Structure 1
């Protein structure tokens, strides 16, 4: 058990935690949430031993093994598989000891070390490491490539695989989804659900938190508050708590005002002085309830486009790719024929390296098509959010300089381009005061992302091309982006691993893969099942290739065609869908019932917080008890249905 008791934690002069207390039990899956700068990463540093408490008590079981993702970029010529295997420190140590014993000819030590290696799982360690690598999106051909041959994002995936490879009792993951696309994210969720130790994760991905956590730890006002349930449940409980806190605060303020009124009226009268003094002591002894302070969450909206051409653009027999420094062309996508209509919301799906960013960059005019035509509608104005913010930002310039240059390049004159107007506009994106003169290179990822959004909004685009816009955004800003996109009158093309954003914004999906761009006939749940099927197929292929004689057997066996595999996978998904459909239908009804009862319960609590006649108080109390009993019954049924669906899915995937 992890125990924090009256803990104080500082970073410099700033107090991050002040007399905070909580416990985390073995095997719990904890989501650590709070605003940026609240102290989440500092608490991780305390758990990992990088910081020490400034007061209070911090207890971590001394025998627990801890694993976390190293933040430094690995620079090594070691192969990817060997690098990930290095995450299992005991296995590495035992292999080194075995090598030394063999060189010394120590037979007893060799025998013992072979037994120890078997206990440490050496027999399937390579297969497990390669399963992690493939699950995180690497191709089989990359398993033994040198680590330093990969780009930064892919090397951080290898760091994540190395952390998952390490045997651990406590796993700390700080924003593990930042460098992942949707297929790797779905695989990681499935892996974490099977993890047997204690998990603590920081993430700004709502669906990821909902999928992998069962406890939420909230940092706010230098305090830790523990909530049972995932992130969505935390939001519900916190909303109820804030309603009750505000009602209690208002009642206390009324009581204090009543007492103070008596004191003010009678403190000068000798006959009432004792009573007035008694009321002064009552006020002093009160444990003051804090008011609920409304958070100034970030919100914005896209301005109405000047016009809406329809179609926005038409792609005809196009080839997309890139031209190397030596002039050679590398084609990634061929024969693309798609049209984009006014008001359409398109989610672009596909694994990393399949061409999603190439497609978006070509439409954004950052790269020319290698063949065919991309015909733009008259008056098309593109707002492009690059996956790497520094693709469009200049580190040495400040936000105001970016806006002045943007206005100048756009040919905007007059009031809209005046410095004060640009300052006011930046202020609406939380760039106020001295921040408008802060060099962009010194800003956080979230601040850079907000600046890119501000620049896009200012241009009044009618086509938004967003390539992983949420990578550095916190939950509040992600929700603000989703709301702004829902109200946007133009067309949206979105590449994102944030499923909550994709679900709330996109109505159509394109699948980019195997050199083509095709419509995806299904929703995100269908796509997740498709990704898990693909990951399972890759893992099985690796296991077969590691088995003795597997290579010869595979050379003799005729390869199943991709079409046959897709048909089999589709048939299996259809069969599973038919089995689970009635369960999912009932689950949706239970969810609706829980939502209705939760709203009724909140209303009853709000009524009870006011002055009511005794008869109404009794009636509200009876109805509140009935609501609680019905909620308990529905929650039990919800768990039963979820277990039945999981069992069917597990049987289908076996």
Structure 2
């Protein structure tokens, strides 16, 4: 188990943990929650031994293998599957041992290495790695593509798959869902539910935490508090605890006021001085309970649209895609849908099917390749891009963005009005003049939200708006969207947001757009069934390839097998050859002795007694030679047969 005892951890002048203690049992799945900047990632660094506590003890099983999703962007020309396989440390160690043994032509070491590869699941490892990649949204033709050919978000998925490939006792996952679509998220959820090790995960996705975790660790005010239950249970228990704390605080304030009133009244009177002094001491000893802030410190609302055209827009035979040097690349075709005032549409679909392409086409970010999009009179579109930098300029400031927006798109506003407006989205003081490129992901997302709200749109197109938002801001966004009077089209992997906002769904699949007849639970089952079918297809393909390789004769494997067989046979023949050499040497000695005795007999110079002794010795030597010659013949025949 993992035990933290009285841990104090500082990052610069900030105290991240202050005499914090907690115990985590093997096999537990723990959600680590807390406000942005509370120190969750620092706690991960402490557990991974990248940081060391200023005081206190961290106890972890010494033999535990740990896996963690690397946050750096991989730079390599290795194929995607090979890159993921490298995450399986035991398999990599076994394969390295095999290469070393083959270079040394060490038969025993070669056999041991093959056993180690088998124990590590090496014979189906490639199929398992590819099933992971398909589950995370990669296409079959991308499985062996170079890592460097993928964009940043896809490379982070490769890092995730590489971490999952490691047979770890402890897995640390920091925002693993940030770069995932809903289909990949559902697959990851199912995988982690089967994971048997200890898992600690940081996430702002409440449904993901509810589905995976059974323990919640709350980092707040440099303290760790353990709650038994998932995130929803944690919220309920914490609300109850805060209610009790608030009551205790109010009660204590009454007591403090009573003591202070007594002190103020009687401290100057000699007859009451001792009593007043004792109450001063009691007041000093009394533990101060901090007031509890139960409400979120961030909220906003979309302003009332200036008009609500109905329908908002109508698409007839619309073709969505991209223009390339080689011609048009069509992603979605024959879209015939209308968007009405007040609709709340969730756009579903497996990764790569064209959800973002459809939204960009509606948002006028890219032209349609065919068909007609008819917009209602007074249509005002607000577009939240999946990549915030698509609509932000890194060298400009939040205030620059708002001034340009008010001037070019409207409605107009004075600089002070724009500063006050940005303050509603936590851009206060000098932050309005900070370059956007230096802002965090959450701050960029809030700036895009601010720009949307200012424009007073009547159609909101939101493509993964929650990627960098904490739970408080997600709650604020959900409430604002529910109160919005216009129309919403939403692409998101945040199921809580989809459930709370959307009342109908479109499914983008197989190059088309159709209504989805079901709810999110139905969609999740459909995604899991699809993922199982893909994994089954990969396994079947691997079996066929293996059988084909076996039938055609894999030369390299045949050479390895032949070399191993020769080495094993040589090891078996070695003791026989050793015995044969001994027999040869003994026969040489016996032949020499026999020749010597026969020579003495020929000279006829021995006395009768000596002659009798030599005759007896000759009989012994002759009998031994006969036995040894029989053994020599047996050994030679066996060696010839084995060779």
* Structure 1 counterpart of 2:472, from 469, 473, 476: 476
**Partner-residue secondary structure (3-state), 1:347:** strand
2:341 counterpart of 1:342: yes
* Structure 2 counterpart of 1:538, from 526, 529, 534: 534
2:450 counterpart of 1:454: yes
Name the stretch that deviates more: 295-304 or 315-324: 295-304
Q: Is the 8 A contact 2:319 2:370 kept in 1?
A: yes
Aligned partners of 2:526 and 2:21: how far apart in 1? Answer: 43
1:437-458 CA distance string (max 9 Å, x none): 0000000000000000000110
Q: 1:395 to 1:331 in 2, by over 3 A?
A: same
**Partner-residue secondary structure (3-state), 2:234:** helix
Name the stretch that deviates more: 151-160 or 52-61: 52-61
Aligned to 1:587: none
Aligned partners of 2:457 and 2:471: how far apart in 1? Answer: 25
Q: Which runs of 5+ in 1 are unaligned?
A: 553-654
Aligned to 1:233: 233
Q: Is the 8 A contact 1:308 1:490 kept in 2?
A: yes
Aligned to 1:520: 516
> What TM-score, normalized to structure 2?
0.83
Aligned to 2:92: 92
Q: 1:523 to 1:412 in 2, by over 3 A?
A: closer
Kindly state the Cα deviation for residue 551 of structure 1 after the two structures are TM-superposed.
8.2
Kindly state the Cα deviation for residue 529 of structure 1 after the two structures are TM-superposed.
0.2
1:183-236 CA distance string (max 9 Å, x none): 110010010011111100000101001110111111111111111111111110
* Structure 1 counterpart of 2:482, from 472, 486, 490: 486
Aligned partners of 1:109 and 1:440: how far apart in 2? Answer: 58
**Partner-residue secondary structure (3-state), 1:35:** coil
Q: Tell me how many residue pairs correspond in the alignment.
A: 548
Aligned partners of 2:172 and 2:377: how far apart in 1? Answer: 51
> What TM-score, normalized to structure 1?
0.82
Aligned partners of 2:217 and 2:411: how far apart in 1? Answer: 48
Aligned partners of 2:209 and 2:18: how far apart in 1? Answer: 26
Equivalences for 1:63-462 in 2 at 5 Å? 63-294=63-294, 297-324=297-324, 326=325, 328-410=327-409, 412-413=411-412, 417-462=413-458
Name the stretch that deviates more: 16-25 or 284-293: 284-293
Aligned partners of 1:228 and 1:296: how far apart in 2? Answer: 23
**Partner-residue secondary structure (3-state), 2:271:** coil
Kindly state the Cα deviation for residue 500 of structure 1 after the two structures are TM-superposed.
0.3
Aligned to 1:594: none
Aligned partners of 1:497 and 1:294: how far apart in 2? Answer: 27
Q: Is the 8 A contact 2:169 2:198 kept in 1?
A: yes
Larger-Rg structure: 2
Q: 1:444 to 1:411 in 2, by over 3 A?
A: closer
Aligned to 1:595: none
Q: 1:346 to 1:411 in 2, by over 3 A?
A: closer
Q: Is the 8 A contact 1:10 1:17 kept in 2?
A: yes
Aligned partners of 2:528 and 2:182: how far apart in 1? Answer: 11
> Stretches of 4+ moved more than 6 A in 1?
549-552
**Partner-residue secondary structure (3-state), 1:406:** helix
Kindly state the Cα deviation for residue 525 of structure 1 after the two structures are TM-superposed.
0.2
Kindly state the Cα deviation for residue 76 of structure 1 after the two structures are TM-superposed.
1.3
Kindly state the Cα deviation for residue 271 of structure 1 after the two structures are TM-superposed.
3.0
Q: Is the 8 A contact 1:545 1:551 kept in 2?
A: no
Aligned partners of 2:381 and 2:311: how far apart in 1? Answer: 14
Kindly state the Cα deviation for residue 274 of structure 1 after the two structures are TM-superposed.
2.7
**Partner-residue secondary structure (3-state), 1:434:** helix
Aligned partners of 1:291 and 1:308: how far apart in 2? Answer: 45
Aligned partners of 1:101 and 1:263: how far apart in 2? Answer: 85
Q: Is the 8 A contact 1:544 1:550 kept in 2?
A: no
Q: 1:219 to 1:363 in 2, by over 3 A?
A: same
Name the stretch that deviates more: 182-191 or 139-148: 139-148
Q: Which runs of 5+ in 2 are unaligned?
A: 549-643
Kindly state the Cα deviation for residue 14 of structure 1 after the two structures are TM-superposed.
1.2
Aligned to 2:639: none
Kindly state the Cα deviation for residue 412 of structure 1 after the two structures are TM-superposed.
4.5
Kindly state the Cα deviation for residue 473 of structure 1 after the two structures are TM-superposed.
0.4
**Partner-residue secondary structure (3-state), 2:394:** coil
Aligned to 2:30: 30
Aligned partners of 2:262 and 2:211: how far apart in 1? Answer: 55
Q: Is the 8 A contact 1:7 1:18 kept in 2?
A: yes
Kindly state the Cα deviation for residue 120 of structure 1 after the two structures are TM-superposed.
1.5
Kindly state the Cα deviation for residue 548 of structure 1 after the two structures are TM-superposed.
4.2
**Partner-residue secondary structure (3-state), 1:301:** coil
Kindly state the Cα deviation for residue 331 of structure 1 after the two structures are TM-superposed.
0.8
Q: 1:551 to 1:470 in 2, by over 3 A?
A: farther
Q: Is the 8 A contact 2:183 2:524 kept in 1?
A: yes
Kindly state the Cα deviation for residue 119 of structure 1 after the two structures are TM-superposed.
1.4
